Amino acid sequence: MLRGANLPRLADYNQAVILDLIRRDPGASRADLQRRSGLASQTVSNIARRLIDAGMVLECAPTEVIRGRPSIPLTVNSDGAFAVGVHIDPARLTLVLVDVSGQVRHQQQLRMPQPSSPNDLTSLIAVSAGRLIREFGVDRDRVLGLGIAAPGPLDVRTGVVLRPPQLPAWHEVHLRADLHDATGLPVLLDKDVTAAATAELRSSASPDFLFVYLGSGVGASVVFGGQVLRGGSNNIGEIGDILVDPTAEDLGWGGRRGGLAAACVPEALVIQAAQAGVLPLPDLRDYLALDDACTTLSQLAADGNPPASFILERAARRVATGIGVLVNFLDVPQVVLGGPMWSRLSAAFLPVMEGAVRDELVVSRDTFTVVGSAVSEQIAALGAAELVMDHFLAPHASVLLTE
Protein backbone atom coordinates (compact mmCIF):
# COMPACT_ATOMS: atom_id res chain seq x y z
CA MET A 1 0.00 0.00 0.00
CA LEU A 2 1.35 3.48 -0.88
CA ARG A 3 1.78 5.71 2.15
CA GLY A 4 1.87 9.48 2.38
CA ALA A 5 4.66 11.88 3.24
CA ASN A 6 4.37 14.79 5.67
CA LEU A 7 5.87 17.45 3.43
CA PRO A 8 3.88 20.46 2.16
CA ARG A 9 5.13 20.07 -1.42
CA LEU A 10 3.55 16.64 -1.60
CA ALA A 11 0.00 17.86 -0.94
CA ASP A 12 -1.38 16.61 -4.28
CA TYR A 13 0.19 13.20 -3.83
CA ASN A 14 -1.10 12.93 -0.27
CA GLN A 15 -4.57 13.90 -1.44
CA ALA A 16 -4.45 11.09 -4.01
CA VAL A 17 -3.37 8.65 -1.26
CA ILE A 18 -6.37 9.57 0.91
CA LEU A 19 -8.87 9.59 -1.95
CA ASP A 20 -7.64 6.19 -3.14
CA LEU A 21 -8.01 4.75 0.37
CA ILE A 22 -11.58 6.06 0.58
CA ARG A 23 -12.42 4.72 -2.90
CA ARG A 24 -11.20 1.24 -2.00
CA ASP A 25 -12.58 1.16 1.54
CA PRO A 26 -15.81 3.21 1.74
CA GLY A 27 -16.77 4.06 5.30
CA ALA A 28 -13.26 4.63 6.62
CA SER A 29 -12.98 7.29 9.30
CA ARG A 30 -10.31 9.99 9.51
CA ALA A 31 -8.58 7.94 12.21
CA ASP A 32 -8.62 4.87 9.92
CA LEU A 33 -7.12 6.93 7.11
CA GLN A 34 -4.43 8.31 9.42
CA ARG A 35 -3.36 4.82 10.47
CA ARG A 36 -3.33 3.44 6.93
CA SER A 37 -1.63 6.38 5.24
CA GLY A 38 0.95 7.24 7.91
CA LEU A 39 0.07 10.92 7.54
CA ALA A 40 -0.39 13.26 10.46
CA SER A 41 -3.89 13.52 11.86
CA GLN A 42 -4.18 17.21 10.97
CA THR A 43 -2.96 16.52 7.43
CA VAL A 44 -5.68 13.89 6.96
CA SER A 45 -8.33 16.23 8.33
CA ASN A 46 -7.24 19.03 6.00
CA ILE A 47 -7.24 16.73 2.97
CA ALA A 48 -10.63 15.29 3.88
CA ARG A 49 -12.07 18.80 4.11
CA ARG A 50 -10.64 19.74 0.69
CA LEU A 51 -12.09 16.59 -0.87
CA ILE A 52 -15.49 17.28 0.70
CA ASP A 53 -15.44 20.88 -0.52
CA ALA A 54 -14.50 19.67 -4.02
CA GLY A 55 -17.51 17.34 -4.09
CA MET A 56 -15.37 14.19 -4.26
CA VAL A 57 -16.06 12.85 -0.75
CA LEU A 58 -19.13 12.72 1.49
CA GLU A 59 -19.51 12.38 5.24
CA CYS A 60 -21.94 9.66 6.33
CA ALA A 61 -23.92 9.15 9.50
CA PRO A 62 -22.03 7.09 12.13
CA THR A 63 -23.10 3.44 12.13
CA GLU A 64 -22.22 2.82 15.78
CA VAL A 65 -23.12 4.73 18.90
CA ILE A 66 -20.09 4.99 21.19
CA ARG A 67 -19.01 7.23 24.03
CA GLY A 68 -17.36 10.47 23.17
CA ARG A 69 -17.20 12.01 19.73
CA PRO A 70 -18.34 9.47 17.09
CA SER A 71 -16.15 8.64 14.11
CA ILE A 72 -17.61 10.01 10.89
CA PRO A 73 -17.39 7.52 7.99
CA LEU A 74 -16.20 8.93 4.70
CA THR A 75 -17.18 7.68 1.27
CA VAL A 76 -16.68 8.89 -2.26
CA ASN A 77 -19.38 10.99 -3.85
CA SER A 78 -20.48 8.80 -6.75
CA ASP A 79 -21.27 11.91 -8.79
CA GLY A 80 -17.86 13.42 -8.10
CA ALA A 81 -16.14 12.06 -11.21
CA PHE A 82 -16.80 9.77 -14.17
CA ALA A 83 -14.88 7.90 -16.84
CA VAL A 84 -15.96 6.38 -20.14
CA GLY A 85 -14.63 2.89 -20.87
CA VAL A 86 -14.66 1.45 -24.38
CA HIS A 87 -13.89 -2.10 -25.47
CA ILE A 88 -13.06 -2.62 -29.13
CA ASP A 89 -13.82 -6.24 -29.97
CA PRO A 90 -13.94 -7.43 -33.60
CA ALA A 91 -17.60 -8.38 -33.09
CA ARG A 92 -18.94 -5.75 -30.70
CA LEU A 93 -18.19 -2.26 -29.44
CA THR A 94 -18.98 -1.79 -25.74
CA LEU A 95 -19.15 1.57 -23.96
CA VAL A 96 -19.75 2.18 -20.25
CA LEU A 97 -20.01 5.33 -18.17
CA VAL A 98 -18.54 4.53 -14.75
CA ASP A 99 -18.63 6.71 -11.64
CA VAL A 100 -15.82 7.18 -9.15
CA SER A 101 -17.18 4.41 -6.92
CA GLY A 102 -16.86 1.94 -9.80
CA GLN A 103 -20.57 1.63 -10.61
CA VAL A 104 -21.81 1.54 -14.19
CA ARG A 105 -24.24 4.42 -14.63
CA HIS A 106 -24.94 4.04 -18.35
CA GLN A 107 -23.91 1.60 -21.05
CA GLN A 108 -24.26 0.78 -24.71
CA GLN A 109 -23.27 -2.15 -26.90
CA LEU A 110 -23.09 -1.88 -30.68
CA ARG A 111 -22.47 -4.47 -33.33
CA MET A 112 -19.18 -3.64 -35.02
CA PRO A 113 -19.18 -2.63 -38.68
CA GLN A 114 -17.78 -5.47 -40.82
CA PRO A 115 -15.06 -4.87 -41.89
CA SER A 116 -13.99 -2.24 -39.38
CA SER A 117 -12.28 0.86 -40.76
CA PRO A 118 -10.12 2.78 -38.23
CA ASN A 119 -11.49 6.17 -39.31
CA ASP A 120 -15.10 5.02 -39.22
CA LEU A 121 -14.64 3.38 -35.83
CA THR A 122 -12.96 6.47 -34.38
CA SER A 123 -15.96 8.53 -35.44
CA LEU A 124 -18.38 5.92 -34.07
CA ILE A 125 -16.63 5.86 -30.67
CA ALA A 126 -16.55 9.65 -30.46
CA VAL A 127 -20.24 10.01 -31.32
CA SER A 128 -21.30 7.13 -29.05
CA ALA A 129 -19.25 8.38 -26.08
CA GLY A 130 -20.71 11.86 -26.44
CA ARG A 131 -24.23 10.40 -26.59
CA LEU A 132 -23.56 8.27 -23.52
CA ILE A 133 -22.52 11.34 -21.51
CA ARG A 134 -25.44 13.46 -22.73
CA GLU A 135 -28.08 10.78 -22.16
CA PHE A 136 -27.03 10.32 -18.56
CA GLY A 137 -26.94 14.08 -18.08
CA VAL A 138 -23.52 14.21 -16.45
CA ASP A 139 -21.55 17.45 -16.37
CA ARG A 140 -18.83 16.94 -18.99
CA ASP A 141 -16.34 18.68 -16.69
CA ARG A 142 -16.75 15.73 -14.32
CA VAL A 143 -15.66 13.25 -17.01
CA LEU A 144 -11.98 12.54 -16.40
CA GLY A 145 -11.32 10.86 -19.71
CA LEU A 146 -11.84 8.02 -22.13
CA GLY A 147 -10.26 4.59 -21.63
CA ILE A 148 -9.89 2.26 -24.62
CA ALA A 149 -9.33 -1.50 -24.40
CA ALA A 150 -8.22 -2.87 -27.76
CA PRO A 151 -6.77 -6.09 -29.18
CA GLY A 152 -2.98 -6.18 -29.21
CA PRO A 153 -0.30 -5.73 -30.09
CA LEU A 154 -0.20 -2.09 -29.02
CA ASP A 155 2.38 0.59 -28.42
CA VAL A 156 0.90 1.90 -25.17
CA ARG A 157 3.57 4.61 -24.84
CA THR A 158 2.60 6.29 -28.13
CA GLY A 159 -1.04 5.20 -28.12
CA VAL A 160 -0.74 3.27 -31.38
CA VAL A 161 -2.61 0.10 -32.35
CA LEU A 162 -0.02 -1.87 -34.31
CA ARG A 163 -1.22 -4.86 -36.38
CA PRO A 164 -3.92 -6.79 -34.50
CA PRO A 165 -4.59 -10.05 -36.37
CA GLN A 166 -8.35 -9.75 -35.91
CA LEU A 167 -8.51 -6.19 -37.27
CA PRO A 168 -6.81 -6.67 -40.65
CA ALA A 169 -7.34 -3.09 -41.82
CA TRP A 170 -5.57 -1.67 -38.77
CA HIS A 171 -1.89 -0.91 -39.31
CA GLU A 172 -0.18 1.48 -36.89
CA VAL A 173 -3.36 3.42 -36.09
CA HIS A 174 -2.77 6.42 -33.81
CA LEU A 175 -5.97 5.70 -31.94
CA ARG A 176 -5.24 7.64 -28.77
CA ALA A 177 -4.40 10.86 -30.61
CA ASP A 178 -7.26 10.43 -33.08
CA LEU A 179 -9.81 9.93 -30.31
CA HIS A 180 -8.45 12.86 -28.31
CA ASP A 181 -8.86 15.07 -31.38
CA ALA A 182 -12.38 13.72 -31.96
CA THR A 183 -13.63 14.00 -28.36
CA GLY A 184 -11.49 16.63 -26.65
CA LEU A 185 -11.09 14.20 -23.73
CA PRO A 186 -7.89 12.74 -22.32
CA VAL A 187 -7.54 9.22 -23.74
CA LEU A 188 -5.77 6.15 -22.36
CA LEU A 189 -5.16 3.06 -24.48
CA ASP A 190 -4.49 -0.41 -23.13
CA LYS A 191 -4.62 -4.03 -24.18
CA ASP A 192 -8.01 -5.72 -23.74
CA VAL A 193 -6.72 -8.55 -21.53
CA THR A 194 -4.82 -6.10 -19.29
CA ALA A 195 -7.89 -3.91 -18.92
CA ALA A 196 -10.04 -6.94 -18.11
CA ALA A 197 -7.59 -8.08 -15.42
CA THR A 198 -7.69 -4.57 -13.95
CA ALA A 199 -11.46 -4.79 -13.58
CA GLU A 200 -11.21 -8.30 -12.13
CA LEU A 201 -8.67 -7.16 -9.54
CA ARG A 202 -10.98 -4.42 -8.30
CA SER A 203 -13.70 -6.98 -7.50
CA SER A 204 -11.44 -9.83 -6.38
CA ALA A 205 -10.64 -10.86 -2.83
CA SER A 206 -7.35 -12.37 -4.02
CA PRO A 207 -4.26 -10.27 -4.86
CA ASP A 208 -2.64 -13.09 -6.86
CA PHE A 209 -4.21 -14.86 -9.83
CA LEU A 210 -3.93 -15.70 -13.50
CA PHE A 211 -6.70 -14.12 -15.56
CA VAL A 212 -7.58 -15.96 -18.77
CA TYR A 213 -9.45 -13.81 -21.28
CA LEU A 214 -11.86 -15.51 -23.68
CA GLY A 215 -13.27 -13.35 -26.43
CA SER A 216 -12.76 -13.05 -30.16
CA GLY A 217 -9.19 -13.92 -29.19
CA VAL A 218 -7.60 -15.58 -26.15
CA GLY A 219 -5.08 -14.02 -23.80
CA ALA A 220 -3.84 -14.06 -20.23
CA SER A 221 -2.81 -11.55 -17.60
CA VAL A 222 -0.92 -12.10 -14.36
CA VAL A 223 -1.95 -10.32 -11.17
CA PHE A 224 0.65 -10.50 -8.40
CA GLY A 225 0.68 -8.64 -5.12
CA GLY A 226 -2.38 -6.67 -6.13
CA GLN A 227 -0.66 -5.38 -9.28
CA VAL A 228 -1.45 -6.22 -12.91
CA LEU A 229 1.82 -7.18 -14.58
CA ARG A 230 2.27 -5.56 -17.96
CA GLY A 231 5.49 -6.85 -19.49
CA GLY A 232 8.36 -4.91 -21.02
CA SER A 233 6.32 -3.62 -23.96
CA ASN A 234 2.90 -3.71 -22.24
CA ASN A 235 1.90 -6.64 -24.46
CA ILE A 236 1.88 -9.44 -21.92
CA GLY A 237 -0.50 -12.35 -22.43
CA GLU A 238 -0.06 -13.66 -25.99
CA ILE A 239 -0.80 -17.32 -25.23
CA GLY A 240 -2.66 -18.44 -28.37
CA ASP A 241 0.25 -20.45 -29.78
CA ILE A 242 0.82 -22.63 -26.69
CA LEU A 243 0.57 -26.20 -27.97
CA VAL A 244 -2.26 -27.99 -26.15
CA ASP A 245 -3.03 -30.92 -28.45
CA PRO A 246 -0.47 -32.13 -31.03
CA THR A 247 -3.06 -34.52 -32.48
CA ALA A 248 -5.67 -31.79 -33.06
CA GLU A 249 -7.59 -31.67 -36.31
CA ASP A 250 -6.48 -29.38 -39.12
CA LEU A 251 -8.85 -26.41 -39.17
CA GLY A 252 -7.36 -24.83 -42.27
CA TRP A 253 -7.05 -21.40 -40.66
CA GLY A 254 -4.33 -18.91 -39.77
CA GLY A 255 -3.69 -20.03 -36.20
CA ARG A 256 -1.27 -22.72 -35.00
CA ARG A 257 -2.59 -26.24 -35.38
CA GLY A 258 -3.19 -27.71 -31.93
CA GLY A 259 -2.61 -24.35 -30.26
CA LEU A 260 -4.63 -22.81 -27.44
CA ALA A 261 -6.36 -20.35 -29.76
CA ALA A 262 -7.36 -23.22 -32.05
CA ALA A 263 -9.07 -24.80 -29.05
CA CYS A 264 -11.37 -21.97 -28.02
CA VAL A 265 -11.63 -18.81 -30.14
CA PRO A 266 -14.97 -18.39 -31.95
CA GLU A 267 -13.50 -18.92 -35.42
CA ALA A 268 -11.98 -22.26 -34.41
CA LEU A 269 -15.07 -23.46 -32.54
CA VAL A 270 -17.34 -22.60 -35.45
CA ILE A 271 -15.07 -24.43 -37.92
CA GLN A 272 -15.13 -27.50 -35.67
CA ALA A 273 -18.93 -27.29 -35.44
CA ALA A 274 -19.23 -27.00 -39.21
CA GLN A 275 -16.90 -29.99 -39.73
CA ALA A 276 -19.11 -31.99 -37.35
CA GLY A 277 -22.28 -30.96 -39.21
CA VAL A 278 -23.63 -29.02 -36.23
CA LEU A 279 -23.74 -25.59 -37.90
CA PRO A 280 -23.39 -24.14 -41.39
CA LEU A 281 -20.05 -22.42 -41.88
CA PRO A 282 -20.43 -18.61 -41.89
CA ASP A 283 -18.12 -16.12 -43.58
CA LEU A 284 -14.96 -16.41 -41.48
CA ARG A 285 -14.12 -12.77 -42.16
CA ASP A 286 -17.37 -11.68 -40.48
CA TYR A 287 -16.75 -11.61 -36.73
CA LEU A 288 -20.38 -10.79 -36.03
CA ALA A 289 -21.47 -13.95 -37.82
CA LEU A 290 -18.83 -15.96 -35.95
CA ASP A 291 -19.98 -14.54 -32.63
CA ASP A 292 -23.62 -15.32 -33.41
CA ALA A 293 -22.68 -18.87 -34.48
CA CYS A 294 -20.84 -19.39 -31.17
CA THR A 295 -23.95 -18.30 -29.31
CA THR A 296 -25.93 -20.92 -31.24
CA LEU A 297 -23.30 -23.60 -30.56
CA SER A 298 -23.36 -22.85 -26.82
CA GLN A 299 -27.15 -23.01 -26.76
CA LEU A 300 -27.16 -26.33 -28.59
CA ALA A 301 -24.71 -27.73 -26.02
CA ALA A 302 -26.86 -26.42 -23.17
CA ASP A 303 -29.88 -28.13 -24.74
CA GLY A 304 -28.02 -31.46 -24.75
CA ASN A 305 -26.93 -31.70 -28.39
CA PRO A 306 -24.20 -34.42 -28.24
CA PRO A 307 -21.82 -33.11 -30.96
CA ALA A 308 -22.05 -29.54 -29.63
CA SER A 309 -21.45 -30.73 -26.06
CA PHE A 310 -18.46 -32.79 -27.20
CA ILE A 311 -16.89 -29.83 -29.02
CA LEU A 312 -17.14 -27.53 -26.00
CA GLU A 313 -16.00 -30.12 -23.45
CA ARG A 314 -13.01 -30.97 -25.64
CA ALA A 315 -12.27 -27.25 -25.90
CA ALA A 316 -12.38 -26.96 -22.11
CA ARG A 317 -9.89 -29.81 -21.65
CA ARG A 318 -7.55 -28.36 -24.25
CA VAL A 319 -7.70 -24.93 -22.63
CA ALA A 320 -7.01 -26.60 -19.27
CA THR A 321 -3.81 -28.09 -20.72
CA GLY A 322 -2.61 -24.62 -21.70
CA ILE A 323 -3.58 -23.16 -18.35
CA GLY A 324 -1.69 -25.97 -16.62
CA VAL A 325 1.50 -24.94 -18.45
CA LEU A 326 1.03 -21.35 -17.26
CA VAL A 327 0.22 -22.32 -13.67
CA ASN A 328 3.29 -24.57 -13.47
CA PHE A 329 5.42 -21.68 -14.71
CA LEU A 330 3.86 -18.89 -12.63
CA ASP A 331 2.89 -20.83 -9.47
CA VAL A 332 -0.31 -18.81 -8.99
CA PRO A 333 -2.92 -19.94 -6.41
CA GLN A 334 -5.96 -19.15 -8.56
CA VAL A 335 -7.10 -19.01 -12.17
CA VAL A 336 -9.97 -16.72 -13.17
CA LEU A 337 -11.69 -17.13 -16.53
CA GLY A 338 -13.65 -14.25 -18.02
CA GLY A 339 -14.23 -12.05 -21.04
CA PRO A 340 -16.96 -11.57 -23.65
CA MET A 341 -17.25 -15.30 -24.44
CA TRP A 342 -17.19 -16.55 -20.87
CA SER A 343 -20.92 -16.37 -20.16
CA ARG A 344 -21.50 -18.66 -23.16
CA LEU A 345 -18.68 -21.10 -22.37
CA SER A 346 -18.94 -21.29 -18.58
CA ALA A 347 -21.63 -24.00 -18.42
CA ALA A 348 -19.43 -26.37 -20.47
CA PHE A 349 -16.06 -25.27 -19.07
CA LEU A 350 -16.52 -24.97 -15.30
CA PRO A 351 -17.55 -28.57 -14.52
CA VAL A 352 -14.33 -29.98 -16.01
CA MET A 353 -11.83 -27.11 -15.84
CA GLU A 354 -10.43 -27.27 -12.30
CA GLY A 355 -9.95 -31.03 -12.31
CA ALA A 356 -8.37 -30.93 -15.77
CA VAL A 357 -5.95 -28.16 -14.75
CA ARG A 358 -5.04 -30.03 -11.56
CA ASP A 359 -4.12 -33.05 -13.68
CA GLU A 360 -1.48 -30.90 -15.38
CA LEU A 361 0.14 -29.50 -12.23
CA VAL A 362 3.63 -30.58 -11.26
CA VAL A 363 3.02 -29.62 -7.63
CA SER A 364 -0.38 -30.50 -6.17
CA ARG A 365 -1.97 -27.80 -3.99
CA ASP A 366 -5.12 -28.21 -1.96
CA THR A 367 -5.87 -24.49 -2.04
CA PHE A 368 -5.60 -24.09 -5.82
CA THR A 369 -8.86 -22.99 -7.48
CA VAL A 370 -10.25 -22.27 -10.94
CA VAL A 371 -13.21 -19.89 -10.94
CA GLY A 372 -15.31 -17.87 -13.33
CA SER A 373 -15.13 -14.10 -13.26
CA ALA A 374 -17.66 -12.30 -11.10
CA VAL A 375 -17.54 -9.36 -13.50
CA SER A 376 -19.88 -9.14 -16.48
CA GLU A 377 -18.85 -9.62 -20.10
CA GLN A 378 -18.31 -5.84 -20.17
CA ILE A 379 -15.16 -6.52 -18.14
CA ALA A 380 -12.67 -5.01 -20.61
CA ALA A 381 -14.68 -1.78 -20.94
CA LEU A 382 -14.97 -1.57 -17.14
CA GLY A 383 -11.23 -2.07 -16.84
CA ALA A 384 -10.59 0.67 -19.39
CA ALA A 385 -12.68 3.08 -17.31
CA GLU A 386 -10.86 2.00 -14.13
CA LEU A 387 -7.53 2.74 -15.82
CA VAL A 388 -8.69 6.33 -16.30
CA MET A 389 -9.76 6.59 -12.65
CA ASP A 390 -6.44 5.21 -11.47
CA HIS A 391 -4.46 7.47 -13.79
CA PHE A 392 -6.10 10.64 -12.53
CA LEU A 393 -7.08 9.80 -8.95
CA ALA A 394 -4.74 7.12 -7.58
CA PRO A 395 -1.34 7.95 -6.06
CA HIS A 396 1.63 7.47 -8.37
CA ALA A 397 5.14 7.76 -7.02
CA SER A 398 6.26 9.42 -10.28
CA VAL A 399 4.61 12.67 -9.21
CA LEU A 400 7.26 12.95 -6.46
CA LEU A 401 10.03 13.35 -9.06
CA THR A 402 11.21 16.83 -9.91
CA GLU A 403 12.88 17.91 -13.13
Pair 268, 318 in one domain: yes
240 three-state secondary structure? coil
CA end-to-end span of the chain, whole Å? 26
Pair 369, 236 in one domain: yes
Q: Check if the beta carbon of residue 9 is closer than 8 Å to that of residue 42.
A: no
75 phi and psi, to 5 degrees?
-140, 160
Residue 161 lies in a domain: yes
Q: Check if the beta carbon of residue 324 is closer than 8 Å to that of residue 357.
A: yes
Pair 128, 102 in one domain: yes
Q: Burial of 256 by CB count in 10 Å (0-12 exposed, 13-18 middle, 19+ buried)?
A: middle
Residue 403 lies in a domain: no
Pair 192, 326 in one domain: no
Q: From first to last of its 403 residues, what are the pLDDT tens digits of the chain?
A: 445 544 444 458 889 899 999 998 889 899 999 999 999 999 999 999 999 998 999 998 776 655 656 788 999 999 999 999 999 999 999 999 999 999 999 999 998 888 788 999 999 999 999 999 999 999 999 999 999 999 999 999 999 999 998 888 899 999 999 999 999 999 999 999 999 999 999 889 899 999 999 999 999 999 999 999 999 999 999 999 999 999 998 898 878 999 999 999 999 999 999 999 999 999 998 999 999 999 999 999 999 999 999 999 999 999 999 999 999 999 999 999 999 999 999 999 999 999 999 999 999 888 999 999 989 999 999 999 999 999 888 886 443 333 3
Pair 356, 249 in one domain: yes
Pair 348, 223 in one domain: yes
CATH number assigned to the domain comprising residue 158? 3.30.420.40
Helix (H) or strand (E) holding 86: strand 82-88
| Separation of CA 11 from chain center | 31
Q: Which residues contact 166 (CB under 8 A, 6 or more apart)?
A: 90, 151, 216, 217, 287
Residue 55 lies in a domain: yes
CATH number assigned to the domain comprising residue 31? 1.10.10.10
Q: Where does a domain end: 21, 47, 77? A: 77
What is the DSSP secondary structure assignment for residue 200, as one 8-state letter? H
Residue 399 lies in a domain: no
Pair 171, 223 in one domain: no
Give residue 271's pLDDT: 96
Burial call 141-152: b when 16+ CB within 10 Å, e when fewer: eebbbbbbbbbb
Give residue 403's pLDDT: 37
Pair 353, 217 in one domain: yes
Residue 66 lies in a domain: yes
Domain that holds residue 142: 82-198+381-393
Pair 185, 280 in one domain: no
Q: Which amino acid is at 93?
A: L
Pair 251, 235 in one domain: yes
Give residue 63's pLDDT: 66
Total domains, the chain: 3
Pair 295, 261 in one domain: yes
Pair 220, 345 in one domain: yes
Separation CA 270–CA 290 (nearest Å):
7
